[in-house]
Amino acid sequence: MSALLSKFTFSRDDSRAYTLIGVWLLTMILFPIAYWTIGESVIPVAITIAAIAQAIAVFYIVQTRWGITKTFRMLLIVGVLTWLAEAIGSKTGLPFGEYHYTDVLQPQIWGVPALIPLAWFMLLPSSWALAQVITGDVSGWRGRVLVAGVSALALTAWDLFLDPQMVGWNFWVWANPEGGYFGIPFINYGGWLLVSFLVTWLINPASLPVIPLAVVYACVWFLQSVGLAVFWGQPAPALFGSLGMGAIMLWAALRYRRQA
């Protein structure tokens, strides 16, 4: 009985982590209310506040295991690399396809909203944590490749929700919005896989606090599934995104149960 109860005990770090997750969830719950009350003009502000709240929660969770310095270094690497990928991508069409950001999200750096690298960061560590559960204790170059590959799948599954929603809010525009995945060219998902794989490969994350990061991933899955289907009028992306992220979570849950 004591062994069972020990699984439900929380340290001070755990309590603070879940408090920060709760604050982020509160911003997400208030978002539709603000939209109904104020109108479309609130969307960029609400998205920015919610993204910052999620990023703070994720940063705190990671630093409980990695420490402030290593976590900040990781944030810097993710921010620079993903901004560079987006800046090149929006100017050249590679690796995501031809698109450009509108003026809705501000401020921008060389045509890329400053919020975009933060958006990559706020779910990458959760993808790493699930990938480590799925791949198990695999060391060396093979383990590094497997973690990077599964992480890329876990993060790209999120974009099954994200891109249709952000395009619907006019955050960015595709040059050829016909066909593809609800107006999103399929090459975009190859770009997501490539960038998230390379970033994960370079950082080579290890020893992450799995449970709270998995909670973040699960909350994103739930909020996006319900939000797109009920509040934002995009039931089809909600279905496919739910299946994509849900498959990753089920895979991780089965592996975690086998390892327990």
| C-alpha to C-alpha distance for 146 and 155, rounded to whole angstroms | 14
How much is the average pLDDT of 190-203? Answer: 97
For the whole model, what pTM was predicted? 0.93
Query: Over the stretch 8-65, which tens digit does the pLDDT of each residue have?
Result: 344 566 889 999 999 999 999 999 999 999 999 999 999 999 999 999 999 999 999 9
Token output for 229: 């289907």
pLDDT given at position 10: 47
pLDDT grade for 260, boundaries at 50, 70 and 90 = low
**Contact present, 224 and 241 (Cβ < 8 Å):** yes
Residue 179 has pLDDT above 50, yes or no: yes
Lowest mean pLDDT among 2-11, 124-133, 138-147: 2-11
188: Cβ–Cβ under 8 A, 6 or more apart, which residues? Answer: 96, 97, 99, 159, 163, 180, 181
Pick from 117, 109, 218, 104: which is nearest to 169 by CA? Answer: 104
Query: Over the stretch 205-251, which tens digit does the pLDDT of each residue have?
Result: 989 999 999 999 999 999 999 999 999 999 999 999 999 999 999 99
pLDDT grade for 77, boundaries at 50, 70 and 90 = very high
| C-alpha to C-alpha distance for 139 and 159, rounded to whole angstroms | 29
How much is the average pLDDT of 175-196? Answer: 94
**Contact present, 216 and 61 (Cβ < 8 Å):** yes
Residue 96 has pLDDT above 60, yes or no: yes
117: Cβ–Cβ under 8 A, 6 or more apart, which residues? Answer: 78, 79, 80, 82, 83, 86
pLDDT given at position 47: 95
pLDDT given at position 177: 85
Please state the three-class secondary structure of the chain as a single string: CHHHHHCCCCCHHHHHHHHHHHHHHHHHHHHHHHHHHHCHHHHHHHHHHHHHHHHHHHHHHHHHHHCHHHHHHHHHHHHHHHHHHHHHHHHHCCCCCCEEECCCCCCEECCEECHHHHHHHCCHHHHHHHHHHHHCCCCHHHHHHHHHHHHHHHHHHHHHHHHHHHHHCCCEEECCCCCCECCECCHHHHHHHHHHHHHHHHHCCCCCCHHHHHHHHHHHHHHHHHHHHHHCCCHHHHHHHHHHHHHHHHHHHHHHHHHC
Using a 10 angstrom Cβ sphere, with 0-12 exposed, 13-18 middle and 19 or more buried, the burial of residue 5 is exposed
Residue 122 has pLDDT above 60, yes or no: yes
pLDDT grade for 139, boundaries at 50, 70 and 90 = confident
| C-alpha to C-alpha distance for 254 and 43, rounded to whole angstroms | 37
Helices 235-259 and 124-135 sit at what angle, rounded to 10 degrees? Answer: 40
pLDDT given at position 197: 98
How much is the average pLDDT of 118-142? Answer: 91
